[in-house]
Chain A
Amino acid sequence: MKRKHQAIAALTCALFALVFLGARKAGPASKPKGEPVRAKIGVISIITGAGAGYGEAITNGFRLARDEVNAKGEVLIDLKVEDSTGKAEQALSAAQKLINSERVAAILGPTLSTEMKVVGPEANASGVPIMGTSTTAKGITQIGKYVFRNSLPESLAIPASIGMAVKKYNLKKVALLYGNDDVFTKSGFDTMKEVSERLRLSILTVQEFQKGQSDYRAQLTRIASLSPDGVFCSALYEEGAVILSQARKMGITVPFVGGNGFNSPKVIEIARDASEGLIVATPWFAERDDPKVKSFVAKYEKAYGKKPDQFAAQAYDALHIMANALKAAGSADREKLRDALAATKNHMGVLGKFSFDADRDVVMDPNVLIIQGGRFRPFR
């Protein structure tokens, strides 16, 4: 029995290989000029379930960009949207469907890093280019040479904000403060520490706190007594806003640099005046003085009735990057598309100037913002 099974498995494999090879060979040759490039692009996102808010913003961004691209007529994109419900196994079966039955040229998504850790290897083994637009964890593009992302990881955002703050305020001695019971704030802290050491700042103290705490004065008293030039704080906005408020009240007036979790208008809403002077780095800044950004925001608002967030903007840029790569590749061939994607340099999108590095990871200058006069403004 066992032998028979093995034989069948071997046969099936051989058959598949034949079909695949055949498909490769029979793939469309480069089209003559003037004829548009048609491509099916798969999208894996959270359409239902707890993270559906992200999925909504992301697919809205994709659709808006697709309509623009198709209206131009050089590339015609057909989006195939699949729901992952935020679960890795669901994302995997969606990916298999897109790769094997829909036979898409490339995949955009999935939404979460945990999903990408499962879907990425599958797409990579099948030779399908896949681009994450919201996956910020470490080691995503290291999965393989078909895996890309255009979402700014914290390891890029934090050095930018710290670097500018150090330069502007001439920081020498700093205090670090972080939530030690959250993966996100902990990893932000690790990056802050690394950057501080690289910039040869002297770290006076590292203070920890836990989620939901209401009294931070013990930590802040310690920080105040060492009189640092600046405080780097990796916190989610709920805790972050309280920390800022209590710190300012205690007379800690030095600049605060926050991680990605701190990057929310809610900080201003909660901490009001105490939030003044908080510095954060973000890939997306809706009020940037750039005609591209303004037109994107206006179109998005008109189409969906709300302002685009970071996830919508990243998705919008990702689809444009994909369309440009399709145009450069001249066909929907997966191999050619991969090479064209990897060659993306200086793409001007709503997030700013964007390139892939040798590892297919993000190269861009994040927007460094500071809270002034009750709103986020560019920090110069």
Chain B
Amino acid sequence: MFLEQAINGITLGGIYAIVALGYTLVFGVLGIINMAHGEIFMFGAFVGMLLVSKAGVPLPVAFLGAIAAAASMGLLLDRFALRPLRKRPGASHLASLISTIGVSILLENAAHRIFGAGNHLFETPFSDIRFQAGSVTVYLVQAAILGISLLMMAGLSLWLSRTRAGKALRATAENLETAGLLGVDTNRMITATVVIASAMGGVAGVLVGMAFNFINNRIGLSMGLKGLAIIIFGGMGSVYGAMAGGLILGLSETFVVAYGPAGYRDAIAFVTIIVVLLVRPQGLFGQAVSDGKP
């Protein structure tokens, strides 16, 4: 029972972590919170659902489809909602926050029109594969979610710290103008970041569908809010923080339902976050803000 609940919690936490990674990547580079990330993730889930359940293609193809759909939405998001604001001198740094909120509402309503308000079954034989470890049943999906989230975290931190592109990205994050003077195509770097973050959202969408069996047009909002809380909790812009924060939130939510009053599930999870922030205002893995730049 305890072990099974722990696995449930880790699965949920892994999904939260992947969603949060997308937020943290964009925040780390652009210093803005991409409110449309949750909805892009939701669209990824729907594209995956349509490919798997309706078109009957194999799962890897559905993943690629969801990634392609989410990535192109990220491209459009940057092209139409972020870049125009970036070029304008005097635009408030909150302007992009509002424009992404606008995109998120647009996408949620569009999903409502296209897919309807109800739950949609996400049917794939892969999610029925399970194995027995002692008295505990583990689904391959659950293991896959943890594996994929760890892989993404490791890949992301390697890419950021070891590769040339990663270095360019960090330089862009450090100082846009200086990076540009040093020969970094900053516009391309920023677009790439948004696209990569969105693609990760697409992966998360398919994983959610596989884990819960169902998706609807509101998962973007609920998952998005959790992801947002996690990056504050784990430390803004920190890849490890997103991972740790996601797992802690997932586990605490599951154990509240399993052993405590289920009605307080979200309340207790968020009280935990508040307490951590009181002790460590910069978040679990965040660095104290000193120069006004995160």
Residues of chain A within 8 A (CB-CB) of B9 are 218
**Bound: A102/B64 CA distance, A:** 68
Binds B, one of A45-53, A141-149, A206-214: A206-214
Given A212-B218, A214-B219, A225-B1, the answer on whether A238 and B119 have CB atoms closer than 8 Å is yes
Complex interface: chain A residues within 8 A of B123 (CB) = 272
**Consensus secondary structure, chain A interface:** helix
Interchain CA distance A212-B262 in the complex, whole Å: 14
Question: Scoring A residues 203 to 223 as 1 if CB is less than 8 Å from chain B, else 0, what string do you get?
Answer: 000011110101101110110
Q: Are A208 and B222 within 8 A (Cβ)?
A: no
A269 CB → nearest B CB, Å: 8
* Contact, CB under 8 Å: B257 / A219: yes
**Residues B213 and A218 in contact, CB atoms below 8 Å apart:** no
- Distance from B133 Cβ to chain A, minimum over Cβ atoms (Å): 15
Answer whether A266 and B118 are a contact pair too, CB < 8 Å, given A212-B218, A214-B214. yes
The answer on a CB contact under 8 Å between A217 and B8 is: yes
B121 within 8 A of A: yes
Does residue A198 face the partner (Cβ distance < 8 Å to B)? no
Contacts of B187 in A (CB 8 A): none
Q: Which chain B residues numbered 250 to 264 have a C-beta less than 8 Å away from chain A?
A: 253-255, 257-258, 261-263
Instruction: Check A242 against B214 for contact (C-beta < 8 Å).
Output: yes
A168 at the interface (CB under 8 A from B): no
Bound CA span A238–B216, Å: 10
Interface of B, secondary structure class, is helix
- Known contacts: A214-B222, A245-B121, A271-B121. The answer to whether A207 contacts B262 by CB under 8 A is yes
Q: Which of A181, A242, A270 contacts B212 (CB 8 A)?
A: A242
- Say yes or no for B282: interface residue by CB 8 A criterion: no
Cβ-neighbour of A219 out of B12, B213, B218, B262 (below 8 A): B262
Mark interface residues in A234-256 (1 if CB within 8 Å of B CB, else 0).
00001001100110011100000
Bitwise, A274-299 to B at CB < 8 A (1) or not (0) is: 00000000000000000000000000
Given contacts A218-B9, A245-B214, 16 further A-B contacts (CB under 8 A): A208-B261, A214-B212, A214-B214, A214-B219, A215-B12, A218-B8, A218-B255, A218-B258, A222-B257, A225-B4, A242-B214, A246-B212, A246-B213, A249-B127, A249-B128, A271-B121
List 16 A-B residue pairs with CB atoms under 8 Å apart, sorted by A's residue number: A180-B263, A209-B262, A210-B262, A214-B216, A214-B222, A218-B253, A218-B262, A219-B257, A222-B258, A241-B214, A242-B212, A242-B214, A246-B212, A249-B127, A249-B128, A271-B121
